[in-house]
Structure 1
Amino acid sequence: MEQRFVMKCGGSTLAALPDSFFADLRRLQAEGVRPVIVHGGGPAISSTLEKLGIETEFVGGLRKTTGDVLDVVEMVLAGAINKEIVRKIQQSGAKALGLSGVDGMLIQAQPVANAVDIGYVGDVTDVNAEVIEGVMAMGYIPVLAPIGIDGAGQRYNINADTAAGAVASRLGVERMIVVTDVPGIMKTVDGQKKVLPSITVAEIDEMIASGEIYGGMIPKVRAAVKCLHGNVREVVIVSGEEPNVLSRVVREGGVGTVIAGG
């Protein structure tokens, strides 16, 4: 069976990655590996809303997605960011096709339980894997923006981590790659910070409670845990700045931190 992987990355992180990262992606594609990319874009959404003078409210740390906010979310994610990533991949010599979850009913969704409080935010109910498989069969890397849709045509803002986990699960991919700006989860051992090669979700909870995982690392780690969905058994956190990081994860492992369910 052909080798494939699903990679999740924040829009701002991906845009800042060096050309060598995209060259590595091109090499993997040329070797017959089939990557699928799911991206976010929170900071770009926030700055666009600010420029347009659209006020946003946060409820329990989540952006309340009103109709006006949803228009901007779709414009930024499925438009500007998605196409920037596609351009970068194509500049490297690889082939990419950008889609949002609305295209071909790719990411089907329903309102989250607390939709009354946070608006048009959705949970994934199904993923149309045929569309993704078709794009890969044509030799393109699918680049997916996490906008969902239901049978009535209502759009939803989907958490990128949850969307990536659902896509990987539906494609039968057991290990997901989360590309960020840190080399993995760090732990201080004998006064030196070292990357943990592996960790369980329970150990992550303990490290957050003890303060060993703190500050901006907490949302990154929690986001990676959200990717453990359905058939996804492991998520590996890596830095996109490391040389040939994707090839190393796919071919040999031993890079970044592997988070295992349980």
Structure 2
Amino acid sequence: MKILLIKLGGSILNHLHESFFSSLRDLQNDGYRLIFVHGGGPDIDWMLEKMEIASEFHRGLRKTTPEVLNVVELVLSGKTNRRLVSMLQRHGFRAIGLHGSDAHLLEGKYIDQHGLGEVGEITSVNCKMITDILQLDLIPVLTPLALSQSGTTLNVNADMAAGAIAKAMNAESCIFVTDVKGVLRENRLVDFLTIEAAEQLITDQVIIGGMIPKVKTALAVVQEGIGKVRIVSGKEPFFSGGRWIGTTFSGKAGVQA
């Protein structure tokens, strides 16, 4: 079974182009099974502000008090997940929304309960459940929430959740959908980068601005043991005729994009 893990950030969700869904159809026609993980940062920020709850980040992770966690769960499960599932279904895909903390689908542990609160990282994935869903020709759409050993819900960074699930499911690739099609050098798309080459482009200030955190996230997931990680655009085709359009990252030179 050829599996692709596709991570969608909350900021790109409302800007997906029709060609994005055409690429998904091409992937399915090419024999790929799709798994989605999504974030919901903008919606969470909006709801926290509306409810006058302070929002704070530390080392890129949202500090999650029990009060903040209630909002995170409400938004991810009740709004963002439903929106993505509905969008996929409107475009002819059979999608099903799944909450990572349900039925021990995703299990995790605290990262730093004192400093970050209810924030965790994934320690195990119920691969059988996900595989069974895929074999029903359904597309699982997961929230990045995990269940701790004590039975509490943990807020997991969606990028890292995507990497953990991709690794556990032995996915062919982990794909990060953004508002750009990949790394550009002299206005030309860079198709493939090793970890070392990407870090050098950051040092040389070829990769700058908002692309830096995108690339660093991709590299972090590669270092977790994923063979290939891709940055692609949700605003234009990213897969067509068996060809990828984006930047592929790998820990090994010579790996095909």
Is the counterpart of residue 256 in structure 1 residue 246 in structure 2?
Answer: yes
State the shift of 1:27 in Å. 5.2
Identity of aligned residues (%): 41
Deviations 1:43-73 (A, max 9, x none): 2211111111101222234321111111111
- Residue 168 of structure 2 corresponds to 170
In the alignment, is residue 199 of structure 1 matched against residue 189 of structure 2? no
| Structure 1 residue 238 displacement after superposition | 1.0
Write the deviation string for residues 121-144 of structure 1: whole angstroms up to 9, x where unpaired: 101111111111111111110001
Equivalent residue pairs, number: 252
Match of 1:128 in 2: 126
- Confirm or deny: 8 A CA contact 1:169 1:229 kept in the other structure: no
Does residue 35 (structure 1) correspond to residue 34 (structure 2)? The answer is yes
Cα distance between partner residues in 2 of 1:197 and 1:20? 20
Deviation readout 1:168-215 (Å, 9 max, x if unpaired): 111111322211111111122xxxx11111112222222223322221
Q: For residue 213 of structure 2, what is the aligned residue in structure 1?
A: 219
8 Å Cα contact 2:17-2:236 kept in structure 1: no
Residues 158 and 247 of structure 1, relative CA distance in 2, 3 Å threshold: farther
Give the match for residue 104 of structure 2.
Answer: 105
Q: Which runs of 5+ in 1 are unaligned?
A: none
Give the aligned partner of residue 182 of structure 2: 184
Write the mapping of 1:19-168 to structure 2, written as runs, cut at 5 A.
19-26=18-25, 28-29=27-28, 32-112=31-111, 114-168=112-166
Structure 1 counterpart of 2:255:
none
Does structure 1 residue 237 correspond to structure 2 residue 231?
yes
Q: Secondary structure of the residue that 1:12 maps to in structure 2?
A: coil
Compute the displacement of 1:26 (Å): 4.1
**TM-score using structure 2 length:** 0.91
**3-state DSSP of counterpart to 2:48:** helix
Distance (whole Å) between structure 2 residues aligned to residue 246 and residue 11 of structure 1 = 21
Using the TM superposition, name which of 73-82 and 58-67 deviates more: 58-67
Distance of aligned partners of 1:246 and 1:141 in 2 relative to their CA distance in 1, 3 Å threshold: farther
**Offset of 1:11 from its aligned partner?**
2.1
Residue 30 of structure 1, CA deviation = 5.9
Q: Deviations 1:75-100 (Å, cap 9, x if unpaired)?
A: 11122001100000000111000112
Q: In structure 2, do the counterparts of structure 1 residues 208 and 30 end up closer, same or farther at CA, with 3 Å as the change threshold? A: closer
| Residues 65 and 121, structure 1, Cα contact 8 Å, conserved in 2 | yes
Name the CA distance, whole Å, in 2 between partners of 1:60 and 1:38: 21
Q: Deviations over 1:218-255 (max 9, x none)?
A: 11112222322544111011112223x2445xx233x2
CA distance, structure 2, for counterparts of residue 256 and residue 26 of structure 1:
17
Alpha carbons of structure 1 residues 204 and 33: separation in structure 2 relative to 1, 3 Å = closer
Give the aligned residue type for 1:124: I
For the residue of structure 2 that corresponds to 1:126, the secondary structure is: strand
Would the alpha carbon gap of residues 226 and 15 (structure 1) be closer, same or farther in structure 2, given more than 3 Å must change? farther
Q: CA deviation at 1:14?
A: 2.6
Displacement of 1:15 in angstroms is 2.8
Structure 2, gaps ≥5 residues long: 253-257
After TM superposition, give the deviation of residue 33 of structure 1 in Å: 2.7
